[in-house]
Amino acid sequence: MTVTHELFTGGFWRDPYPAYTELRDAAPVYRTEQAGTTVWVLSRYVDVRAALADPRLSKDARYLLPPEQRAATASPSVEMMVLMDPPDHTRLRRLVSRVFTARRMEGLRPRVRQLSHELVDALPRTGRVDILREYAFLLPVLVICELLGVPAEDRDDFAAWSNVVVDDSTRDESMEAMGKLQVYLSELIEAKRTQPDDALISALISDSDEDKLSRSELVAMSVMLLIAGHETTINLIGNGLLALLTHPEQLAQVRENPDLMPAAVEEFLRWDSPVHSLSTFYTTEDVEYSGGRIPGGSVVRLSLAAANRDPDRFPDAEELRFDRVESGHLAFSHGLHYCLGAQLARVEGQEAIQTLIAAKPGLALAVPSDELIYRHSQVVRGLKELPVTFGT
């Protein structure tokens, strides 16, 4: 079917939600071409949630091959958990879940709060400030690097490599940055073996179980935790702040009642999801969603952002509301790929946004919202900058 809105290119990234409304209504199982590959896009909540738990959708690209070639082709040598199926995914998730617990993440709240206050205190008192670069970018970098055990002097390089990997960079640029990340983390892991600390990498190395992570698995896991814990949280904070600055009634609500902040963060996650779509899935056989058939051996992309604005799941889905009784947004995915760092992202989003709006009562956008520019890839979408003023 022909769709009237521009999709996945150009002006789409400024405001993709009208296009998603059209997809949900008219083409919920949509076939498109991306970089010379046929991709099927699911946009309805019921379909995306079902697909996230559907064992017929695999992360193994061998399903793109004809059946007679599939068995003879070696499994991809990718050891990043989010790119795996069970039982490999199950094993890695079990190992890392022992140290990446919700309790451990919640235990970081006092430190996240302290860092938020320190960063706010360091902001200029007057003039125009890019709050994304000077605040929303810095807090997740500090937190994830402390969590992993990355030395302070290496954090700028660490963050820069992560940005290139996630941004809409060229393949060569992305591969170069990924290579630098992997080399750095491999060397850091070896250093932690001889000089362990109480950070997450050391905890993963010292797991007492006989079935430990291999060196290459440790590197892949660290890369995944960095990108997931850094990039997506920047977008959560930035998108959340923009939502408040363009919705003064809601901003007044959370200023008057800070206890609303947890609900507000859940709504930011739903309303403008920092992870826009999940990485590629492959159909192991023919599947059907909303009456649309997708052949086996196809590439499928699941739009979390479109699903989270589906009015069939969330009444008045286009409205930003902190009093919603409907739960179940898919910003952290669902099923076996549910985000390990969901609780940490919530902690950082709550503390960062609450600290800033409390400290800066005159906080306001420095430019019209329609002049803001977005950085994006097929996975994430967030602001390039967020210019603000603090008033008098």
The torsion of the CA quartet 214, 89, 270, 234, rounded to 10 degrees, works out to 10
Which CATH number belongs to the domain containing residue 213 in this structure? Answer: 1.10.630.10
Q: Does residue 3 belong to any structural domain of this protein?
A: no
The pLDDT score that the predictor gives to residue 44 is 97
Helix axes 261-271, 342-359, angle to 10 degrees: 110
Q: Does residue 169 belong to any structural domain of this protein?
A: yes
Strand partners for 31 = 40
Tell me the per-residue pLDDT of 323-344, one tens digit each, with 9 for 90 and over: 998 889 999 999 888 888 889 9
Which helix (H) or strand (E) segment holds residue 346: the answer is: helix 342-359
Burial 31-49 (b: 16+ CB within 10 A, else e): eeeeeeeebbbbbbbebbb
Q: Does residue 1 belong to any structural domain of this protein?
A: no
The pLDDT score that the predictor gives to residue 97 is 82
Q: Does residue 5 belong to any structural domain of this protein?
A: no
Measured CA distances, 140 to 1, 111, 119, 178, 218 (Å) = 41, 12, 11, 19, 21
How many helices (H) does the chain have, and how many strands (E)? Answer: 16, 12
3-state secondary structure of 283: strand
Q: Are 341 and 228 in contact (CB under 8 A)?
A: yes
pTM: 0.90
The pLDDT score that the predictor gives to residue 208 is 45
Q: Does residue 25 belong to any structural domain of this protein?
A: yes
Number of domains in the chain: 1
The pLDDT score that the predictor gives to residue 74 is 59
Tell me the per-residue pLDDT of 7-50, one tens digit each, with 9 for 90 and over: 888 788 889 999 999 999 999 999 998 878 899 999 999 999 99
Q: Does residue 4 belong to any structural domain of this protein?
A: no
Q: Does residue 180 belong to any structural domain of this protein?
A: yes
Q: Does residue 2 belong to any structural domain of this protein?
A: no
Per-residue pLDDT of the chain (392 residues; tens, 9 = 90+): 667 887 888 788 889 999 999 999 999 999 998 878 899 999 999 999 999 999 999 988 877 877 777 766 655 555 677 777 888 888 888 878 877 788 888 889 999 999 999 999 999 988 899 999 899 988 988 898 888 888 888 888 877 777 777 665 666 777 888 888 888 888 888 888 888 888 888 888 875 445 677 788 888 888 777 777 777 899 999 999 999 999 999 999 999 999 999 999 999 999 999 988 887 899 999 999 999 999 999 999 999 999 999 999 999 999 999 999 888 999 999 988 888 888 999 999 999 999 999 999 999 999 999 999 898 777 888 999 999 999 76
Cα(365)–Cα(1) distance, rounded to whole angstroms?
39
Residue-range definition of the domain harbouring residue 313? 10-389
Q: Are 334 and 52 in contact (CB under 8 A)?
A: yes
